[in-house]
A and B are shown apart, each in its own frame.
Chain A
Amino acid sequence: MRLQEAEGLYHPYEVFVQYEHLQHHQHVGSVLAPSPEVALLMARENLLRRERAVNVWVVRKDQIHATAYGDSDFFAQEFDRSYRRVDGYSADNARKWKQFKQRALELEDMLGD
């Protein structure tokens, strides 16, 4: 009976901490608390005892909308997508550009003569 009461009173809250103003909030863990106010206090004391931060969010876990783990098609990627990636921009790129520009310059000189 007691436990059921407690389960009704306490809710899990997910905790997101912003460590610096220029960073986004990061998920760092969760706390059980009976209200958002208490969740904020518990997040501060449980998850920020040593690090400094500028902001904390707590979000009641049942307010988070999520995909289902069984719904793997939601993330389907079946065909070659390498053309969407930026891997081509390797360190070699700078050298190739330099070569290309050099050649273009030489062509211009020749045409100008």
Chain B
Amino acid sequence: MAPVVSKPAEVALHPGYREVVVQFLTELADDELTLGHRDSEWLGLAPDIEGDIAFSSIAQDEVGHAAFCFDRIAELTGQEADVLAFARSAAERRNARLLERENGDWAETIVRHYLYDTFDRLRLQALVESSYRPLAEGAVKMLREEYYHRLHMQTVLARLGRGGEARERVERALYALADEVGSLFAGSLQDARLTDLRILRASGNDIASAWCEQVAAELEDWGLPVPAGLRTVRPAADGRTVHGAALQQLLSEMAEVYHTDPQATW
């Protein structure tokens, strides 16, 4: 009954499968590309040179994950990965609104990354047994890289939370971002077909409650406050479809070179 799709061409055998998996892959790719680009904006500006290089390295990993997902979409739709990454308008993007926000200060950047990495890990874990085998194989690899991304954010966040001005900034960021985290759980995670087709092996609600539990426990371990919006998260219905001016700004900067000559071969 439940399909197993080992090759892109096999999606044609299962009605509705292609649409659902492409929608979900678009969210994965857009999340990683958006956050990867925001990470890259710290180049030359992070508080110390080691952290600067580390953040750029993580940015490259995230963009690599986005490239993997765009390639999987390209296999299913015949579109080009570069066109998907650079030519789509803000209205067509499906990243969570949380990720397009401007970076804010270093504390806010670290808090957002930690919140996202914790979410991303749960989402990837639910993909390891995906019925869409090309995605399941990629999820195993992405999980391995996300392990040290999360470790990095946990280590830095715990240290920033110890006191002084850094801690004040972390607290401010936690409350500011608590209003936006609902956007992570919007879109496909609210679509029952995603679990019915076994593309994702946990429901959006299961992922959301696991995420809240883990985030609250870790923040408490570090002696940080847990805003109500992180203890129980309400998925924002328009969190991946309605975007702000921040995404427009991000896209025009990210795709500036691409738009000088979209036909160029790189």
Contacts and interface: CB of A to CB of B under 8 A. Distances in A.
Contacts of B51: 42
A46 B54 contact: yes
B50 A33 contact: yes
A47 B13 CA distance: 47
Given A42-B51, A44-B148, A46-B53, A34 B159 contact: yes
B155 A37 contact: yes
B205 interface: no
A38 B58 CA distance: 15
Interface string B141-176: 000000010011001100100000000000000000
Contacts, number: 33
Contacts of B159: 34-35, 38
A31 interface: yes
Given A34-B159, A41-B151, A45-B152, A10 B54 contact: no
B57 A41 contact: no
Nearest to B49: A32
Contacts of A32: 48-50
A49 interface: yes
Contacts of A31: 50
A35 B156 CA distance: 11
Nearest to A49: B57
A46 B50 contact: yes
Contacts of A38: 155-156, 159
A45 B156 contact: no
B148 A41 contact: yes
Contacts of A34: 159
Given A32-B48, A32-B50, A45 B155 contact: no
Interface residues of A, number: 14
Contacts of A45: 50, 53-54, 57-58, 152
Contacts of B48: 10, 32
Interface string A33-77: 111011001101110010000000000000000000000000000
A31 B53 CA distance: 11
A35 B162 CA distance: 14
A44 B155 CA distance: 14
B52 to A, nearest CB: 9
Given A10-B48, A32-B48, A35-B159, A41 B53 contact: no
Contacts of B50: 31-33, 42, 45-46
Contact of B54 (A35, A37, A42): A42
Interface in B125-140: none
Nearest to B54: A45
A38 B158 CA distance: 11
A105 to B, nearest CB: 63
Residue of B48, B50, B53, B156 most packed against chain A (CB within 10 A): B50
A32 B52 CA distance: 12
Contacts of B53: 45-46, 49
Given A38-B159, A44-B148, 10 more contacts: A32-B48, A32-B49, A32-B50, A35-B159, A38-B156, A42-B54, A45-B53, A45-B54, A46-B53, A49-B53
Pairs of residues from A and B, 5 with the lowest C-beta to C-beta distance, nearest first = A45-B54, A42-B50, A45-B57, A46-B53, A31-B50
Interface of A: 10, 31-35, 37-38, 41-42, 44-46, 49
18 contacts: A10-B48, A32-B49, A33-B50, A37-B155, A38-B156, A38-B159, A41-B54, A41-B148, A41-B155, A42-B54, A44-B148, A45-B50, A45-B54, A45-B152, A46-B50, A46-B57, A49-B53, A49-B57
